[in-house]
Amino acid sequence: MPVFGYRVTDASGRVTEGVIEAVGERAATDRLREMNLVPIRVWAAKAGAERRRERSLRGGTRTARKDLLPFLQGFRTLLAAGIPMDRALEMTAEFFRGGPMGAVSVFLLREVRGGNSLSDAMRNAPGEPFSRFLIQMVQAGQATGRLEEALEQAYRFLERSRDFRANLLGSLLYPAILLFASVVSVVLLVVFVVPRFAGVFAASGVLLPLPTRILLGVSTFLRENAVYLAAAAVLA
């Protein structure tokens, strides 16, 4: 049976979107009206669009987590302003529409309106964008009636964690670049510079010191097995 997307409003004025199966567009509109909904727009949902929507619900974890802090900040602000939870989720779904957090917001909205708690909905969210810490904070906030405060504390903790990781990566970047440059310089020296002196040492007929012989042996080994070593490095 064909699938149609829709945008409707209910008796309280809330605007929602979804999909419905019907034999035609007119039948879909009639079914929505039978559900006491006022159709704003009804359109044929293409199969490709539905598959992209399902992939968005199942995947996109990394992008969803990147948008997690803006989502928490916006959601907490709406709740603190006295907006009902379902309406706040609806507004965040519209704001993040087209991205992973938009799909997650739609899922949370559907679960909350279905009678599930927000913490349970977050635990089952597609892509698992919410950490166990955040879910437990939300669960504690719901149990104590201080959800906005719990969201604020979770937001501040996650923000500090993000800043710490960014500072740590920034601090390690410069030493990593120096280490890489040092390794490359030593390899180039051993592979290309040392062999130029090997002939001079051999022509002199003098027994070379042990460190020098080791260095020449390493240079020879690297030059003769460069292809295999490069392949091993790529595989590693």
59-162 homologous superfamily? Type II secretion system (T2SS), domain F (1.20.81.30)
pLDDT score recorded for residue 64? 54
CA–CA distance from 62 to each of 38, 150, 156 (Å)? 37, 24, 20
pLDDT score recorded for residue 13? 67
- Angle value at C-alpha 215, between 210 and 219, nearest 5 degrees: 145
Average pLDDT, the chain: 80
- Name the amino acid, one letter, at 12: S
CA–CA distance from 165 to each of 33, 123, 170, 236 (Å)? 51, 25, 8, 26
Q: Please state the rounded mean pLDDT for residues 152-165.
A: 88
Confidence grade of residue 59 (pLDDT, cut at 50, 70, 90): very low
Q: Please state the rounded mean pLDDT for residues 90-104.
A: 84
Helix, strand, coil distribution of the chain in percent, nearest 5? 70, 10, 20
Give the model confidence (pLDDT) of 209-234 as tens digits.
Answer: 788 778 888 888 877 887 887 888 88
What is the pTM assigned to this prediction? 0.53
Q: Are 129 and 143 in contact (CB under 8 A)?
A: no
Give the model confidence (pLDDT) of 31-54 as tens digits.
Answer: 888 888 888 788 776 544 444 444
pLDDT score recorded for residue 45? 64
Show me where the domains of the chain are located: 3-45, 59-162, 174-235
Give the model confidence (pLDDT) of 132-144 as tens digits.
Answer: 889 999 999 988 8
Q: State the CB neighbour count (10 A cutoff) for residue 208.
A: 14
